[in-house]
Chains A and B, each alone.
Chain A
Amino acid sequence: MTEQVAVLGVGMHPWGKWGKNFVTYGVHAARAALADAGIPWRDVDLIVGGETVRNGYAGYVAGATFAQALGWNGARVATSYAACATGAQALDTARSRILAGQSEVALVVGADTTPKGFLAPNAGERWDDPDWLRFRLLGMTNPAYFALYARRRMDLYGATSEDFAQVKVKNARHGLHNPNARYRKAVTAQDVLDSAVVSDPLHLLDICATSDGAAAVVLVSAEYARRLGAERPVRVAAISTVTPTFPNTVLDMPLLATEPSGVVGAPERTFKEGIAHAAYEEAGIGPEDVSLAEVYDLSTALELDWIEDLGLCKRGEAETLLRAGETTVGGRIPVNPSGGLACFGEAVPAQALAQVCEVTWQLRGGAEGRQVEDARVGITANQGLFGHGSSVLLTL
């Protein structure tokens, strides 16, 4: 299966707060990806859009919106919603159609315009909605969830605020030369520690912002890539979009409680471990084969969780890896060479695709100023609301 679908083009609209409509960003990214692939829009036979439920009615940010903006070309159309994993699920839809022989050239687009400040639930009283109740009854914001995970690392594994700050320092350095990053400025550990505490132990600079942005990927069948003369294109080795296994025993945003393990026992793997495991299993490779990882650093501490969830080190050892410089470009297993969410901020329906764009550039050897040497296998990982998560494995 790994031989059959190729990433032929990737493109992005720079992340930031640009004050424009998301369609503008999406079209920019789509055209960049098509130009990168050397494929005209009229040859695309499937367009898949990543959707967010935030900006108006659900169908608004959808495949058809981008298809119309690019100019109706009669392509088949699909739309995906999977919270932070939206882009990966959209990619999976495109890949499945290609594998089934129903498509040869697919364009996948995700774009978002985000509000300022804390992400808050929609207006109105919704007493059966956990996302509303967690604010109403507990004042439980997104950073507070991230802070719970961070605190566990401190109390269980001896992580320090300095460690978390060093994740930010590293990612800021990685993102310095990334033209699509929103924040391109060196940060010191002291800057992080001097920034206000939002939810103890996390400071403002430990937490990612929300951004506008867009990313697009052109997927094609191996046969189509050959016809086009593409030599050694980047291949999709796996796309994992599994659900958790009952009972999900790690407290999950926006819920007020976990599921009970008292009767049936905890599952073999946590949700995040399961996401990565499914990707490795599908690709037939393991963590030892990975050259680099793009993970969802909604907070600095969460990057350390992901390193372990992906099996890149044992549980509780991510700080050791970080302190030794192994997760920096030039180290054994660079993590977030793009600069990560620390340098981008989150643009939900685009973010999982942005991870795929970065891994593609890395595997091609074209990630200027942040290139991981001899990159052959890259993995992405993210998790979002409501049991959604994804991991994409790309190989040369």
Chain B
Amino acid sequence: MSDTATPAIEGWFTTGPEPALIGSRCSTCGCVFFPRTEGFCRNPVCDGESFDDVELSRRGRIWSYTDAQYQPPPPYIAGDQWEPFALAAVELPEGLVVLGQVAHGYGVDDLKVGQEAELVVETLYSDDDGERTIWRWKPIP
């Protein structure tokens, strides 16, 4: 991943040595949502309308996992060389489960429900603007 790499989607995660997903915390009830939200709180007993950006926990436990052995259809952007990749849903201490691809070099054999995983940022694809990055889950042995 080069220094000029930019996120594949803006405002969803931080980069740097300790990257994190960016969620929205309702300033009325404290519920934390990801992806970010605005306008109204979805907690049915809360009429909150304002949110603060908050960095989500970088570590959680694997809720489940799988992989993609066939190339997904567009709008997925596959590189020149198709390579299967693993996917994991990770439960964070905030009480939400967040999907992500699994860090490069790890497959389903490296994963287990309940295992700890940590957020990393890696290259998803490259386009005319250079490398585009995405959050991924890296299993902790």
Contact = CB atoms under 8 A, between A and B. Distances in A.
Interface of A: 117-118, 120-121, 125, 127, 132-141, 144, 147-152, 155-156, 196-202, 246-247, 249, 251, 256-264, 266
B43 A246 contact: yes
Nearest to A126: B75
Interface string B24-46: 00000111111100000011110
Given A139-B87, A257-B35, A263-B30, 18 more contacts: A120-B74, A133-B9, A137-B134, A140-B72, A141-B73, A147-B66, A151-B64, A152-B113, A155-B114, A202-B66, A246-B42, A256-B99, A257-B97, A258-B96, A260-B32, A262-B93, A263-B43, A264-B31
A152 B33 contact: no
Given A200-B108, A246-B44, A118 B64 contact: no
A138 B31 contact: no
Interface residues of B, number: 47
Interface of B: 8-9, 29-35, 42-45, 63-78, 85, 87, 89, 93-101, 108, 112-114, 124, 134
Interface centre among A125, A200, A246, A261, by most chain B C-beta atoms within 10 angstroms, is A200
Q: Is the interface of A mostly helix, strand, loop or mixed?
A: loop
Given A144-B66, A263-B43, A136 B95 contact: no
Contacts of B44: 246
B93 A144 contact: no
A150 B33 CA distance: 26
A262 B96 contact: yes
A140 B64 contact: no
Contacts of A202: 66
A123 B33 CA distance: 27
Most chain A CB inside 10 Å of its own CB: which residue of B30, B69, B77, B78: B69
B97 A251 contact: yes
A135 B35 CA distance: 15
A135 B65 CA distance: 16
Contact of B69 (A149, A150, A200, A260): A200
B71 to A, nearest CB: 8
A118 B72 contact: yes
B2 to A, nearest CB: 20
A251 B76 CA distance: 20
B133 to A, nearest CB: 11
B9 A198 contact: no
Contacts of B32: 260, 262-263
Contacts of A135: 72-76
Contacts of B93: 262
Contact of B96 (A133, A152, A200, A257): A257
Nearest to A124: B75
Most buried by A among B9, B43, B64: B64
B68 A148 contact: no
A14 to B, nearest CB: 28
B19 to A, nearest CB: 15
B81 to A, nearest CB: 15
A201 B107 CA distance: 12
A263 B54 CA distance: 15
B98 A257 contact: yes
Given A199-B67, A200-B66, A200-B69, A263 B76 contact: no
